[in-house]
A and B are shown apart, each in its own frame.
Chain A
Amino acid sequence: MSQIRVLVGTKKGAFILSADGQRKNWKISGPHFAGWEIYHLKGSPADPNRLYASQSNGWFGQIIQRSDDGGKTWNTPGSSPEELKSADGFPKGESNKFVYEGKAGTHKWYDGTQHPWEFKRVWHIEPSLTDPDTAYAGVEDAAIFKTTDGGKTWKEFPGLRKAKGNLWQPGAGGMAVHTILLDPKNEKRIYVAISAGGCFRTDDGGKTWKPITRGLKSQFELPDPDAEVGHCVHRIALHPSRPDVLFMQKHWDVMRSDNAGEQWREVSGNLPTDFGFPIEVNFNEPETIYVVPITSDSLHYPPDGKLRVYRSKTGGNDWEALTKGLPQKDCYVNVLRDAMAVDQLDKSGIYFGTTGGQVYCSPNGGNSWNAIAEHLPAVYSVEVQTLK
Chain B
Amino acid sequence: MIRVILPFHLRNLARVDGEVQLEIAPPVTLGAVLDALEARYPALRGTIRDHDSLQRRPFIRFFACKEDWSHEPANTKLPDEVASGDEPFLIVGAMAGG
Q: Are B96 and A60 within 8 A (Cβ)?
A: no
Which residues of chain B are within 8 angstroms of A99 by Cβ–Cβ distance?
51-52
Output the nearest chain A residue to B49 by Cβ-Cβ distance. Answer: A61
Q: Are A36 and B9 within 8 A (Cβ)?
A: yes
**Is B31's CB within 8 Å of the partner chain A?**
no
Complex CA gap A243/B66 in Å reads 61
Interface size class of A (residues with CB under 8 A): 20 to 34
Q: Are B97 and A94 within 8 A (Cβ)?
A: no
Which residues of chain B are within 8 angstroms of A58 by Cβ–Cβ distance?
59, 96-97
Restricting to B73-98, which residues have a CB under 8 Å from any CB of A? 93-94, 96-97
Restricting to B40-57, which residues have a CB under 8 Å from any CB of A? 41-43, 45-48, 51-52, 57
Report which residue of B39, B42, B96 has the largest number of chain A beta carbons within 10 angstroms of its beta carbon. B42
| Residues A94 and B46 in contact in the complex (CB < 8 Å), given A35-B9, A60-B93 | yes
Which residues of chain A are within 8 angstroms of B13 by Cβ–Cβ distance?
60, 63, 76
Complex CA gap A208/B38 in Å reads 36
Q: Are B42 and A90 within 8 A (Cβ)?
A: yes
Q: Are B45 and A96 within 8 A (Cβ)?
A: yes
Output the nearest chain B residue to A79 by Cβ-Cβ distance. Answer: B42
Complex CA gap A57/B57 in Å reads 12
| Residues A59 and B46 in contact in the complex (CB < 8 Å), given A76-B13, A99-B52 | no
Complex CA gap A62/B45 in Å reads 10
Q: Are B39 and A90 within 8 A (Cβ)?
A: yes
**Is B32's CB within 8 Å of the partner chain A?**
no
Q: How many A-B residue pairs have CB under 8 A?
A: 59
Complex CA gap A84/B42 in Å reads 9
Using an 8 Å CB-CB cutoff, how does the interface string of A78-103 with B read, 1 for contact, 0 for none?
A: 11000010000111011011010000
Task: For the complex formed, measure the closest distance between the CB of B91 and the CB atoms of chain A, giving whole angstroms.
Answer: 10
| Residues A96 and B9 in contact in the complex (CB < 8 Å), given A58-B59, A59-B94, A89-B39 | no
Q: Are A94 and B45 within 8 A (Cβ)?
A: yes
Q: Are B43 and A59 within 8 A (Cβ)?
A: no
Complex CA gap A167/B48 in Å reads 32
Q: Are A97 and B93 within 8 A (Cβ)?
A: no
Tell me which of B41, B47, B52, B97 contacts A60 (CB under 8 A): B47
Tell me which of A34, A36, A57, A97 contacts B45 (CB under 8 A): A97
Report which residue of A36, A76, A93 has the largest number of chain B beta carbons within 10 angstroms of its beta carbon. A76
Q: Are B51 and A57 within 8 A (Cβ)?
A: no
Complex CA gap A36/B9 in Å reads 8
